[in-house]
Structure 1
Amino acid sequence: MRIAVPDLISPSYFPAIAAVELGLVREEGVDVELELLFPVTDAAEALRTGKIDFLAGAAHAPMHAFPEWSGVKLVAALSQHMYWFLVVRSDLNLGRGELGALRDLRIGAAPGPDLGLRVLLAEAGIDAEERGVHIGPVPAVAGAGTSFGVAAAKALEAGAIDGFWANGMGAELALRRGTGTLVLDARRGDGPAGASAYTFPALAVTDDTIERNPAAVTAVTRAIVRAQRLLREDPRRATEAATGLFPELETSMIAELVRRDAPFYDPVISEDSARALAGFGRRAGLIATIPDYDRIVTPRFRHLWR
């Protein structure tokens, strides 16, 4: 079976990566191949057409490929809350939370995640078009085979963009190199009220896979919950999971990034989280109606969360 992540060199979807690379899925009795499939909008379409069996990506990604949330379910959260960072050129001298100072900037954001930033700015009262804030792809990213966060950090350093909206690895690279400064971390309370609840990393599967192979879905879910627990208890296991998969620099960084994110490694998707996710999807123009909880989150595997 195949499980796709839209960004490999990142802490965002790391519980799924660790579940595969540490052999936890295999221990649960299933052989799963991990692959990078960028952007997450294409990954969602691959899930719909059966090219992949599991998508470990943004919780709102299925809305791009499954009209009105039909035929797909979230099985578990990989982590809690919206997990992208807004980083801009350090020479702009912007402080944490100074969204009102954003003007005449090229902000790199991947398709799918870009909606989180667009809705956040709008709900903060910022008209991006009027301010000349252009949100679009990072020039260095050509598609599959590229880590978006790492590419975004490199594009910022090269002057190809003025800022980016990306994962913790990309943000940390820019901050360490001194080329970027952190303006917003929605997960930790920056931005308008409720922004942290827009979306979150999650495991998605089709209704067809749930019906045809519930044992495999159970196995992968159990492995991810085990990986979350292992990483919470010992973030150093992240280095083991990343070795041979990440470049050397990013491998040396991942344990610290996982340590910071470990408190968010919780598989529970509450009714409030599902409702907030659907509300974000409607405001972003992805769906027209608000599906109920059982339509978004399958009841069949919730017992595996604890």
Structure 2
Amino acid sequence: RAFLHLLAEVGIDPARDGVTIGPVPGALDPGASFGVVAADALERRLVDGFWANALGSETAVRRGVGKVIADVRRGDGPPGAGQYTFAALATTETLITREPERVAAAVRAIVRTQRMLRKEPARASEVGRRRFPPAAAEIIAAIVERDLPFYDPVISQAAVETMNGFAQAIGLLATPVRYDDVVATRLSPLWSQGTRELTPPR
């Protein structure tokens, strides 16, 4: 939906302009890395292009079978498009209240991992070798190093406002959701200062 909305915002109507959008062959196979599978499909000319992650685009570029047309994270496309969707750790308010220490531990792990990668991007290769095919694992550290500005655990008010607008535009929300109802602000000391212990809510 993010891609369809992006196309609409730049004046492209798939039906009118003859654009066919569909699943990437093999992307739903168990253990598949969507980006790598998408690059494979592009190389085999099963698709003319794809909307995927940095690993997929970098794989296609390095193989010489594709080019990056738009990177919304870096400001390409309509204003705010880079925050229509983004990676996040999600859970329920019930779990946060019932097991605050467990949730805090997960947040601390993410913050520490991001900080480690900012200092030592090459460490990404260790995980890459376990998670991705060999060719992809060899480039993961370079991708992480290039994308270091995005390794930030903070979800800003502006990001939530943009995401709200997108969700309303495509019919997922009737009204905006409050920032405090989206982001567990009681945990903010953990991502703003990194390692401070969470005080369980009363």
1:105-120 matches, within 5 Å, as 115-120=1-6
1:222-241 matches, within 5 Å, as 222-241=108-127
* Alignment partners' CA distance in 2, 1:158 and 1:195: 29
Report the secondary structure of 2:51's partner residue: strand
Match of 1:262 among 140, 143, 148: 148
In the alignment, does 2:178 pair up with 1:298? no
Alignment correspondent of 1:136: 22
In the alignment, does 2:157 pair up with 1:271? yes
- Paired residues, what number? 192
In the alignment, does 2:52 pair up with 1:166? yes
In the alignment, structure 1 segments of 5+ residues that lack a partner are 1-114
Alignment correspondent of 2:198: none
Alignment correspondent of 1:194: 80
1:56-205 matches, within 5 Å, as 115-205=1-91
In the alignment, structure 2 segments of 5+ residues that lack a partner are 193-202
TM-superposition CA deviations, 1:34-81 (whole Å, max 9, x none):
xxxxxxxxxxxxxxxxxxxxxxxxxxxxxxxxxxxxxxxxxxxxxxxx
Deviates more, 1:277-286 or 1:162-171: 277-286
TM-superposition CA deviations, 1:12-53 (whole Å, max 9, x none):
xxxxxxxxxxxxxxxxxxxxxxxxxxxxxxxxxxxxxxxxxx
Aligned-residue CA RMSD (Å): 1.3
Contact 2:111 2:153 in 1 (8 A): yes
Deviation at 1:282, TM superposition (A): 1.0
Greater relative contact order structure (CA < 8 Å, 6+ sep):
1
Report the secondary structure of 1:287's partner residue: coil
**Which structure: larger Rg?**
2
* Alignment partners' CA distance in 2, 1:280 and 1:255: 32
* Alignment partners' CA distance in 1, 2:27 and 2:131: 19
Which amino acid counterpart does residue 121 of structure 2 have in structure 1? P
Report the secondary structure of 1:135's partner residue: coil
Deviation at 1:246, TM superposition (A): 2.2
Match of 2:138 among 252, 270, 274: 252
* Alignment partners' CA distance in 2, 1:142 and 1:193: 31
Deviation at 1:288, TM superposition (A): 1.3
* Alignment partners' CA distance in 2, 1:139 and 1:270: 35
* Alignment partners' CA distance in 1, 2:37 and 2:134: 16
Report the secondary structure of 2:161's partner residue: helix
1:26-45 matches, within 5 Å, as none
Which amino acid counterpart does residue 173 of structure 1 have in structure 2? T
